[in-house]
Amino acid sequence: MKPGIPFGLKTKFNAKRAGTFLVLAIWLFVSLACARTAQSENDYAATALAQLLTAAVTPTVPGVESGSNIEQIPLPIQVTNTPIQPADPPDPQSSPTPSGGTSDPNPAPVILYNTQAGDTLKALAARFAVAPAEITSPSPIPSEGLFSPKQLLVIPNRLTETTPSLQLLPDSEIVFSPSAVNFDIQAFVLQSGGYLSTYREELSTGFLTGAQVIQRVAIENSVNPRVLLALLEYQSHWVYGQPNNLAQTDYPLGHTDYHAKGLYKQLSWAVQHLSIGYYGWRAGLITEISFKGAPQNTSARLAPTLNAGTVALQVLFAQLYNETQWGGALYSPNSFPELYERMFDNPWTRAQLVEPLYPPNLIQPKLELPFAVGKTWSLTGGPHSAWGPDGALAAIDFAPASSEHGCVVSTDWVRASASGLVVRSENGVVTLDLDGDGYEQTGWVLLYLHISRDARVAPGTWVDTNDQLGHPSCEGGVSTGTHTHMARKFNGEWILADGPIPFNLSGWIAHNGSKPYLGFLTRGDQTVTASQYGSFESRITRTQEVTEE
């Protein structure tokens, strides 16, 4: 039990999770028997390794006697487990290939997979290690764009050894989704009464309380504050109790890099790895993980039926723990998901009220380039991180024409790309809520970064398309020159610029380059290529409004 959590709130450890934990225990035991190099106990983990290991090897496995050669046991982690209480369950299962015109005496195994919100053909092919053409369905398959949730797919089962396929946390509990709208961070922190409730940290905007740091990291990165609080409690007891040592005080998430000292930097580091897992899974860019301290070129294949929220946790915890500790932290009776449910009740119940985050047939509303008709600016950054160094590749950058380089004062105006309500205007940021309900966690939201405080639009202002938002600048983050950084969110999730719902500004479509900040925009047979120097090929002129079809 974590300090301060009433005994009556103890999470039910259901049979499905118990079964998965039993499977994991065998996997961990086999791993230890294979003479892998032993890892030292993480000095900064709040959960005792000894307790995790004891739990991991206690269950009695039928058919395996004491002293038997367990190295002969095949790795029992399959892709056929049904997730626990998902809001949008994939429910995969092994099955023979459906019968055709001729009977195959040895049909190849397949998985019957129900699509999840955010799935694309390209990403699923990467996760299942198959060619896109090998994925079939009774319903039409979109070659581009999003699948509708719960569409049945028949996919060859090529993967035999993967991480557990149990889903640990819904997507809506990772991102700053509608489920976070009514969550009062300050009230929760004060009521919990731990170290966080009295914590203060000096940042660029002045001194912030612990709750204010949580709020800032959550809203900047569009991540759910609940997961930040649970991570903080699991790693260092900050929410309900006190840190046990100086390391937990200075590095409460367990990332012991002196460049990342303090709550804000620790949370920001954790969010970056959550984002790598979450958005990398969305895009089909991540299919395996490497554990802390593991030899080079060793990794574990991710179960292809996982949801993005679970992969986010698996990636982050692999940065913090070796393989044995990782299994205990995520799948034991004392695991992070168990703590999460004790702190915030059942997350899958909340998810049923707000998911899928991507509704069927989701499309981007009409958006215009963020400068005036007749003006020529430069595309100075192709698709890159929406926030921080390793986030979702959801943002693109534009800079006005200038004879000077660097951070210079500009009299040009950043214009509203659509009509909406200004819900945030601070620290170089303007966010525009297109559905006008006043919440960044719901519907379409546009983020503009590096907007000068001089003449910046006030929060609470309703703006129409082309209205002035402020001047481009270097304010609000790391910048080498005056520009504006623009990204989209839907239901709190960053929308990838070159994804199934591509960034479309006045008919110009964004495309990734070979690495972040490279890339280009296309409209018909025209191409504009990103250049941080504003060279000729990066110049783009807004010539006319996009007419309604």
Q: pLDDT tens digit string along 401-455? A: 987 889 999 999 999 999 999 999 999 999 999 999 999 999 999 999 999 999 9
Structure tokens at 360: 């069927």
N-term to C-term CA, the chain: 59
Please give the model's pTM, rounded to 2 decimal places: 0.83
Residues 252 and 384 both lie in one domain: no
- The DSSP secondary-structure symbol of 203 reads E
How far CA 483 is from CA of 377, 439, 511, in Å, comes to 10, 26, 20
In a domain, 393, yes or no: yes
Residues 447 and 301 both lie in one domain: no
Tell me the Ramachandran region of residue 439: left when phi exceeds 0, alpha when psi lies from -120 to 50, beta otherwise. beta
Helix 15-33 and helix 49-57: axis angle, to 10°? 100
Residues 325 and 416 both lie in one domain: no
Residues 391 and 303 both lie in one domain: no
Return the pLDDT at 545: 66
Residues 384 and 274 both lie in one domain: no
Strands 444-449 and 484-490: antiparallel
d(CA 294, CA 422) in angstroms, rounded, equals 47
In a domain, 160, yes or no: no
Residues 250 and 386 both lie in one domain: no
Return the pLDDT at 25: 53
Residues 386 and 356 both lie in one domain: no
Residue 52 lies in domain: 1-79+166-360
Give the mean pLDDT per block of 10 residues along the chain (549 residues).
37 47 50 38 37 35 28 31 38 39 66 97 98 98 95 96 97 98 98 99 95 98 99 99 98 97 98 98 97 88 98 98 96 97 98 95 97 98 95 97 90 98 98 98 98 97 99 92 98 98 98 97 98 95 69
- What confidence tens digit (pLDDT) does each residue in 70-96 have? 222 233 333 333 333 334 434 444 333
In a domain, 470, yes or no: yes
In a domain, 9, yes or no: yes
Looking at the 3D structure of the chain, how many domains does it have? 2
Given a contact cutoff of 8 angstroms between Cβ atoms, the answer to whether 542 and 549 are in contact is no
CB burial readout 199-224, b (16+ within 10 A) else e: beeeeeeeebbbbbbbbbbbbbbbbb
Write down which residue in 360, 392, 424 finishes a domain. Answer: 360
Return the pLDDT at 22: 53
Provide the CA 493 distance to its chain's centre, in angstroms.
Answer: 8
The enclosing domain of 449 has a CATH number of: 2.70.70.10
In a domain, 455, yes or no: yes
In a domain, 112, yes or no: no
Write down which residue in 309, 328, 360 finishes a domain. Answer: 360
Residues 264 and 315 both lie in one domain: yes
Structure tokens at 43: 């000095």
Residues 195 and 337 both lie in one domain: yes
Residues 470 and 346 both lie in one domain: no
In a domain, 126, yes or no: no
- Beta-carbon count within 10 A of 50 CB: 9
Residues 529 and 416 both lie in one domain: yes
In a domain, 387, yes or no: yes
Residues 180 and 212 both lie in one domain: yes
Return the pLDDT at 38: 36
Write down which residue in 326, 360, 394 finishes a domain. Answer: 360
